[in-house]
Amino acid sequence: MIERLPHSDGLPLPSAATSGAAGVDLMAAVQEPVVIPPGGRALVPTGFAVALPVGHEWQIRPRSGLALKHGVTVLNAPGTIDEDYRGEVGVILLNAGAKAFEVTRGMRIAQAVLAPVVRQVLVETNRLPISERGAGGFGSTGVGA
Protein backbone atom coordinates (compact mmCIF):
# COMPACT_ATOMS: atom_id res chain seq x y z
CA MET A 1 0.00 0.00 0.00
CA ILE A 2 1.12 3.56 -0.64
CA GLU A 3 0.02 6.86 0.87
CA ARG A 4 0.49 10.05 -1.10
CA LEU A 5 1.63 13.00 1.02
CA PRO A 6 0.43 16.53 0.22
CA HIS A 7 3.74 17.76 -1.24
CA SER A 8 3.66 15.08 -3.94
CA ASP A 9 0.50 16.38 -5.65
CA GLY A 10 0.92 16.23 -9.39
CA LEU A 11 3.74 13.67 -9.31
CA PRO A 12 3.23 10.06 -10.42
CA LEU A 13 3.45 7.31 -7.86
CA PRO A 14 6.52 5.05 -7.97
CA SER A 15 6.32 2.68 -10.91
CA ALA A 16 8.50 0.42 -13.04
CA ALA A 17 9.83 2.05 -16.21
CA THR A 18 9.55 -1.21 -18.18
CA SER A 19 7.87 -4.59 -17.77
CA GLY A 20 11.25 -6.17 -16.98
CA ALA A 21 12.44 -3.60 -14.45
CA ALA A 22 13.43 -5.02 -11.06
CA GLY A 23 12.41 -1.91 -9.13
CA VAL A 24 10.18 1.12 -9.19
CA ASP A 25 11.51 4.61 -9.83
CA LEU A 26 11.42 7.12 -6.97
CA MET A 27 10.96 10.79 -7.80
CA ALA A 28 11.99 13.93 -5.99
CA ALA A 29 9.08 15.68 -4.29
CA VAL A 30 11.03 18.88 -3.67
CA GLN A 31 9.20 22.20 -3.75
CA GLU A 32 12.29 24.10 -4.93
CA PRO A 33 15.44 22.73 -6.61
CA VAL A 34 18.04 21.29 -4.23
CA VAL A 35 21.68 21.83 -5.20
CA ILE A 36 24.13 19.22 -3.94
CA PRO A 37 27.73 20.47 -4.12
CA PRO A 38 30.60 18.13 -5.05
CA GLY A 39 31.19 15.88 -2.04
CA GLY A 40 27.87 16.99 -0.52
CA ARG A 41 24.77 15.05 0.37
CA ALA A 42 21.07 15.75 0.78
CA LEU A 43 17.99 13.96 2.05
CA VAL A 44 15.50 14.17 -0.81
CA PRO A 45 11.79 13.60 -0.05
CA THR A 46 9.69 11.35 -2.29
CA GLY A 47 6.28 12.55 -1.13
CA PHE A 48 4.85 9.21 -0.02
CA ALA A 49 4.85 6.55 2.69
CA VAL A 50 4.43 2.80 2.21
CA ALA A 51 3.26 -0.29 4.06
CA LEU A 52 5.32 -3.19 2.73
CA PRO A 53 4.31 -6.84 2.83
CA VAL A 54 5.30 -8.72 5.98
CA GLY A 55 8.70 -10.33 5.59
CA HIS A 56 9.94 -7.81 2.98
CA GLU A 57 12.01 -4.66 2.72
CA TRP A 58 12.47 -2.02 0.06
CA GLN A 59 16.09 -1.70 -0.98
CA ILE A 60 16.75 1.88 -2.13
CA ARG A 61 19.36 1.76 -4.86
CA PRO A 62 21.12 4.28 -7.09
CA ARG A 63 20.09 4.94 -10.67
CA SER A 64 22.91 3.92 -12.99
CA GLY A 65 22.43 6.92 -15.30
CA LEU A 66 22.84 9.44 -12.48
CA ALA A 67 25.89 7.58 -11.21
CA LEU A 68 27.59 7.40 -14.62
CA LYS A 69 26.71 10.84 -15.97
CA HIS A 70 26.89 12.92 -12.77
CA GLY A 71 28.57 10.85 -10.04
CA VAL A 72 25.35 10.95 -7.99
CA THR A 73 24.56 7.87 -5.92
CA VAL A 74 22.59 6.74 -2.90
CA LEU A 75 24.89 7.27 0.08
CA ASN A 76 23.85 4.26 2.16
CA ALA A 77 23.24 1.98 -0.83
CA PRO A 78 21.26 0.00 -0.58
CA GLY A 79 19.17 1.90 1.90
CA THR A 80 16.51 -0.12 3.68
CA ILE A 81 12.87 0.70 4.20
CA ASP A 82 11.64 -1.75 6.85
CA GLU A 83 8.21 -3.37 6.64
CA ASP A 84 7.04 -1.54 9.79
CA TYR A 85 8.23 1.97 8.82
CA ARG A 86 5.35 4.32 8.07
CA GLY A 87 7.08 7.67 7.61
CA GLU A 88 7.93 9.41 4.37
CA VAL A 89 10.39 7.57 2.17
CA GLY A 90 13.48 9.74 1.75
CA VAL A 91 16.59 9.16 -0.34
CA ILE A 92 20.07 10.22 0.81
CA LEU A 93 21.88 11.34 -2.32
CA LEU A 94 25.65 11.83 -2.47
CA ASN A 95 27.29 13.90 -5.16
CA ALA A 96 30.62 12.18 -5.82
CA GLY A 97 30.95 14.13 -9.06
CA ALA A 98 33.11 17.15 -9.85
CA LYS A 99 30.22 19.60 -10.42
CA ALA A 100 27.23 20.71 -8.37
CA PHE A 101 24.13 18.64 -9.08
CA GLU A 102 20.62 20.08 -9.08
CA VAL A 103 17.70 17.92 -7.98
CA THR A 104 14.44 19.18 -9.46
CA ARG A 105 10.82 18.30 -8.80
CA GLY A 106 9.79 15.04 -10.46
CA MET A 107 13.37 13.95 -11.22
CA ARG A 108 13.89 10.18 -10.97
CA ILE A 109 16.48 9.95 -8.19
CA ALA A 110 16.62 6.29 -7.11
CA GLN A 111 14.91 2.96 -7.44
CA ALA A 112 13.23 0.72 -4.87
CA VAL A 113 13.47 -3.06 -5.12
CA LEU A 114 11.18 -5.24 -3.01
CA ALA A 115 13.20 -8.02 -1.39
CA PRO A 116 12.41 -10.84 1.05
CA VAL A 117 14.00 -10.66 4.49
CA VAL A 118 15.39 -13.69 6.30
CA ARG A 119 14.96 -13.18 10.04
CA GLN A 120 18.15 -13.65 12.02
CA VAL A 121 18.40 -15.62 15.23
CA LEU A 122 21.84 -15.25 16.78
CA VAL A 123 23.06 -17.89 19.20
CA GLU A 124 25.91 -16.94 21.50
CA THR A 125 28.88 -19.29 21.66
CA ASN A 126 32.32 -19.33 23.27
CA ARG A 127 34.02 -20.33 20.02
CA LEU A 128 33.03 -20.13 16.36
CA PRO A 129 33.56 -23.11 14.06
CA ILE A 130 36.78 -23.07 12.03
CA SER A 131 36.55 -21.96 8.39
CA GLU A 132 39.00 -21.93 5.50
CA ARG A 133 39.25 -18.12 5.61
CA GLY A 134 39.36 -17.77 9.36
CA ALA A 135 39.79 -14.20 10.61
CA GLY A 136 41.44 -12.96 7.40
CA GLY A 137 40.17 -9.46 6.63
CA PHE A 138 40.10 -7.14 3.64
CA GLY A 139 42.13 -8.53 0.78
CA SER A 140 43.08 -11.69 2.65
CA THR A 141 41.96 -13.95 -0.19
CA GLY A 142 44.28 -12.25 -2.71
CA VAL A 143 43.71 -10.39 -5.96
CA GLY A 144 44.82 -12.94 -8.58
CA ALA A 145 42.51 -15.09 -10.65
125 labeled part of a ligand binding site: no
- What confidence tier does 140 reach under pLDDT thresholds 50, 70, 90? confident
Which residues, 6+ apart, have CB-to-CB distance to 27 below 8 Å? 11, 12, 14, 46, 47, 106, 107, 108, 109
Q: Where are the domains of the chain?
A: 2-116
> Is 81 assigned to a binding site?
yes
- In this predicted structure, what is the pLDDT of residue 135? 86
Angstrom distance (rounded) from CA 22 to CA 122: 31
42 beta partners: 93
What average pLDDT does this structure show over 43-61? 98
DSSP helix/strand/coil, 81: strand
Rounded CA separation 42/82 (Å): 21
Using one digit for the tens of pLDDT, what is the confidence trace for 101-124?
999 999 999 999 999 999 999 999
| pLDDT over threshold 70, residue 145 | no
136 is in an annotated binding site: no
Does the domain made of 2-116 have the CATH classification 2.70.98.40?
no
Q: Is 131 annotated as a binding residue?
A: no
Q: Tell me if 80 is assigned to a ligand binding site.
A: yes
The one-letter code for the residue type at 103 is V
Is position 76 annotated in a ligand binding site?
Answer: yes
Closest CA to 119 of 50, 56, 77, 52: 56
- Stretch 78-83: mean pLDDT, rounded? 97
- Ligand-binding annotation for 18, yes or no, is no
Type of residue at 77: A
Instruction: Tally the residues of the chain.
Output: 145
- Asked whether the predicted pLDDT for residue 30 surpasses 80, the reply is yes
Q: What is the pLDDT averaged over residues 33-50?
A: 98
Residue-level pLDDT at 137: 82
| Phi, psi dihedrals of residue 64, rounded to the nearest 5° | -60, -35
Q: Is the pLDDT of residue 58 over 70?
A: yes
Residue 133 has pLDDT above 90, yes or no: no
What is the pLDDT, as a whole number, of residue 22? Answer: 96
